[in-house]
Amino acid sequence: MRPTLQFLENELKETIIAEAGVILAELGVEVQNPDVLALLADNGAQVDRAQQRAFFSPDLVRKCLATAPRAFALYDVYGEPTHDFAGDNVHFTPGSAALNILDSETGKMRKPTTADYVDYVQVVNQLEHIASQSTAFIPADVHERISDSYRLFLSLLYGEKPVVTGTFTVEAFAVMRDLQLAVRGSADALRAKPLTVFSCCPTSPLRWSDVTSQNVVDCTRSGIPVEFIAMPLSGFMAPVTLVGTLVQHTAETLSGVVIAQLACPGAPMLYGGSPAIFDVRYETTPMGAVETMMTDCAYSEIGKYLGLPTQAYISLSDAKLLDAQAGLESAMGATLAALTGINNISGPGMLDFESCQSLEKLVLDNEICGMSLRLVRGIEPREDFPALPRLQELLQEQHLLISAHTRRYLRQEHYFPGPVIDRANRARWLEEGGLTLAQRARRRITQLQDNYEAPRYASEIRRELVARMEHEARRYGQETLPERPE
């Protein structure tokens, strides 16, 4: 039996969805993009162009939900399947898109560079419990107009895993699609085997900007899956109650579903988000707050109830460094998210309210993810009945360390975290240097960097990726890209 967590009764889900429907029909959503408004108007939405508002009837929402896929897959750069966004399958991806990284040497936060991003990709490429890359932070050593596409470029050049990403502008979409085409070879191949998921964020309350609404349309028409990241803030930009926040989140996310499905019926989507409570003491949006995590889990329940695969920003921390708070908030989030069956869990590596990535935390979180993935595999009998022969064997052999049963099931039954999480006895720990968690994490990063192997691309793919990125940079007056490792 897979252990699952549930916060909402079906009756409450129905009520929340119905109330969200009333909001979409009565208040509508603001869409600051005339083309998208026209698309909505042409396909059954009521549109007030002067106010830039679109109103969706419950029937229209139902129609859009009916064309939305209940599942879809992602594939790595070689076209091998890596993600099955279906049922309660769980996949982890690093939190994104931070403005800063935590410097390993100084322990201080700073702006990241190309070299930092390459380090990150090389590490995440080898983390066994992190299923995809995300464009986790924003290199500050390139022109800001290419800072979104440049992340994807580096991810595809150095990494093999699919990428959770997004654009900051309407214009950047073209090159971000073309970089994927360089890897896949054709538009049809990309459509058949998606390589990325683009995060598309409505603005609370009930608003789609020109850029984000256009991104939804562009992605869906290119067969690129999208995840909707609505961010209602309980008590500030959303009702203070969790149910009230859920109603608003549902309305905002369903508005994304409508835009996507009217732009391209059948477009793959994740019912996602990044809601938070608003901490009225510090004026912050704590991702490590238990109520934030409860809201995440609850909206995922609503998404699944509507028949959609889900996503959430959860299993990250608001701590400023790799301390106990970082571990406990991330582990609590990863555990709750995995139990809920959130399909794409965005969080590992992230600190400080989604603003700072840490490689040390990422390698620790990888092991937390490993534990969470073990947790949801649950407890089930494996040749355990009848129990008598096993106990007879134990009494006879004095131990079961090399029993055939042990050898068959050891690695399925027991997950062995490490080397960041420490399970050595004290004497061994001391003998091996008495390293702190941060030091063990640092050592792990060095090992991974030493073991890194670049993707096995044909040289023309590599050349094409570079050519497309250089061309994009030149459009904004940047003649050369920063130096990067071969």
Partner 1 sequence: MDILQEISRYLQSGEDKQVLALTEQALDLNLSPGRILQDGLIRGMAVVGDQFKNHEIFLPDVLLAAKAMTGAMERLKPLLIGDETPLLGKVVIGTVRGDLHDIGKNLVGIMLRGAGFDVIDLGRDVPPEKFVATAAAEKAQVVGMSALLTTTMPVMKQVVDMLRAEGLTHVRTVIGGAPVSAEYAREIGADDYGYDAGSAVEKIRQLVED
Closest distance to partner 1 from the beta carbon of 438 (Å): 19
Q: Is residue 425 near partner 1 by the rule CB under 8 A? A: yes
Is the Cβ–Cβ distance between 254 and 262 less than 8 Å?
Answer: no
Q: Which residues pair with 310 in a beta bridge?
A: 271
Q: Is residue 396 near partner 1 by the rule CB under 8 A? A: no
* From candidates 105, 385, 388, 399, binder to partner 1 by CB under 8 A: 399
Q: Which is nearer to partner 1, 66 or 430 (CB)?
A: 430
User: Which H or E run includes 85?
Assistant: strand 81-85
Q: Is residue 192 near partner 1 by the rule CB under 8 A? A: no
* From candidates 106, 186, 398, 459, binder to partner 1 by CB under 8 A: 398
Q: Which is nearer to partner 1, 265 or 419 (CB)?
A: 419
Closest distance to partner 1 from the beta carbon of 252 (Å): 47
Q: Is residue 418 near partner 1 by the rule CB under 8 A? A: yes
- CA 445-163-5 angle, to 5 degrees, is 85
Closest distance to partner 1 from the beta carbon of 428 (Å): 5
How long, in residues, is the chain? 486
Q: What are the counts of helices (DSSP H) followed by strands (DSSP E) for the chain?
A: 17, 20
Q: Which of 88, 55, 54, 57 is nearest to 71 (CA)?
A: 88
Enumerate residues 84-113 that contact partner 1 by CB under 8 A: none
Closest distance to partner 1 from the beta carbon of 366 (Å): 16
Question: How many whole angstroms separate alpha carbon 235 and alpha carbon 403?
Answer: 58
Q: Which is nearer to partner 1, 44 or 419 (CB)?
A: 419
Q: Which is nearer to partner 1, 110 or 428 (CB)?
A: 428
DSSP states along 299-368: HHHHHHHTT--BEEE-S----SSSSHHHHHHHHHHHHHHHHHT-SEEE-TTEETTTTEE-HHHHHHHHHH
Q: Is residue 416 near partner 1 by the rule CB under 8 A? A: yes
* From candidates 402, 458, 459, 477, binder to partner 1 by CB under 8 A: 402
Question: How many whole angstroms separate alpha carbon 195 and alpha carbon 187?
Answer: 12
Q: Is residue 406 near partner 1 by the rule CB under 8 A? A: yes
Closest distance to partner 1 from the beta carbon of 334 (Å): 23
Is the Cβ–Cβ distance between 142 and 162 less than 8 Å?
Answer: no
Closest distance to partner 1 from the beta carbon of 400 (Å): 9
Q: Is residue 467 near partner 1 by the rule CB under 8 A? A: no
Question: How many whole angstroms separate alpha carbon 190 and alpha carbon 223?
Answer: 7
Q: Is residue 2 near partner 1 by the rule CB under 8 A? A: no
Is the Cβ–Cβ distance between 188 and 155 less than 8 Å?
Answer: no
* From candidates 128, 410, 412, 476, binder to partner 1 by CB under 8 A: 410
Closest distance to partner 1 from the beta carbon of 418 (Å): 7
- x/- site string to partner 1, residues 428 to 457, per CB under 8 A? x--x--------------------------
Question: How many whole angstroms separate alpha carbon 274 and alpha carbon 296?
Answer: 7
Closest distance to partner 1 from the beta carbon of 299 (Å): 40
Q: Is residue 427 near partner 1 by the rule CB under 8 A? A: yes
Enumerate residues 291-350 that contact partner 1 by CB under 8 A: none
Q: Which is nearer to partner 1, 177 or 440 (CB)?
A: 440
The DSSP secondary-structure symbol of 386 reads S
Q: Which is nearer to partner 1, 126 or 180 (CB)?
A: 126
Q: Which is nearer to partner 1, 305 or 409 (CB)?
A: 409
Cα–Cα distances (Å) from 486 to 46, 325, 461, 471, in that order, read 54, 38, 15, 20
Question: How many whole angstroms separate alpha carbon 102 and alpha carbon 116?
Answer: 10
Q: Which is nearer to partner 1, 108 or 408 (CB)?
A: 408
Total residues interacting with partner 1, rule: CB under 8 A? 15
Residues 6 or more apart whose Cβ sits within 8 Å of residue 302: 8, 13, 16, 17, 246, 250, 271
Q: Which is nearer to partner 1, 151 or 442 (CB)?
A: 442
What three-state secondary structure class fits 226? strand
Q: Which residues pair with 165 in a beta bridge?
A: 198
- x/- site string to partner 1, residues 343 to 382, per CB under 8 A? ----------------------------------------
Closest distance to partner 1 from the beta carbon of 402 (Å): 5
Question: How many whole angstroms separate alpha carbon 162 and alpha carbon 198?
Answer: 11
Q: Which is nearer to partner 1, 126 or 340 (CB)?
A: 126
**Both ends of the chain: CA-CA distance in Å?**
47
Token look-up 């809601």 returns: 275
Question: How many whole angstroms separate alpha carbon 94 and alpha carbon 88?
Answer: 19
* From candidates 44, 69, 235, 419, binder to partner 1 by CB under 8 A: 419
Judged by phi (left if over 0) then psi (alpha if -120 to 50, else beta), residue 17 lies in alpha
Q: Is residue 394 near partner 1 by the rule CB under 8 A? A: no
Token look-up 């994104």 returns: 96
Closest distance to partner 1 from the beta carbon of 421 (Å): 12
* From candidates 50, 324, 388, 401, binder to partner 1 by CB under 8 A: 401
Q: Which is nearer to partner 1, 427 or 458 (CB)?
A: 427
Is the Cβ–Cβ distance between 254 and 61 less than 8 Å?
Answer: yes
Residues of the shown chain interacting with partner 1 in the complex, contacts defined by CB under 8 A: 398-399, 401-402, 406-407, 410, 416, 418-419, 425-428, 431
